[in-house]
């Protein structure tokens, strides 16, 4: 799945992604696998489990 980070709360270590399918997904920092910190508006690729985003990484990066 692909989408864009809508926001990330560093104090709570969680964020939200707007999926290209129109669904809002939620992720925790433990599921972020890119070297750079998650930043709003970053395009991302991820796997889904319900509305949870897993293995989230900046678009184009390899895991």
**38 DSSP assignment:** P
pLDDT value, residue 63: 58
Enclosing H/E stretch for 9? strand 2-9
- Tell me the whole-structure pTM to 2 decimals: 0.93
Query: Using alpha carbons only, how large is the chain's radius of gyration in Å?
Result: 10
Q: Does 63 map to a domain?
A: no
Report the chain (63 residues): mean pLDDT per 10 consecutive residues.
Answer: 98 98 98 96 98 96 68
pLDDT value, residue 31: 98
pLDDT value, residue 10: 96
Q: Which domain holds residue 26?
A: 2-58
Domain with 17 in it: what CATH number? Answer: 2.40.50.140
Provide the domain count of the chain.
Answer: 1
Q: How many residues does the chain have?
A: 63
């Amino acid at each position: 799945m692909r989408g864009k980070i809508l926001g990330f709360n560093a104090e709570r270590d969680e964020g939200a992604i707007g999926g290209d399918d129109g669904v809002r997904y939620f992720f925790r920092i433990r599921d972020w696998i890119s070297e750079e910190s998650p930043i709003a508006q970053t395009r991302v690729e991820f796997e889904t489990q319900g509305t949870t985003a897993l293995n989230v990484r900046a678009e184009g990066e390899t895991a």
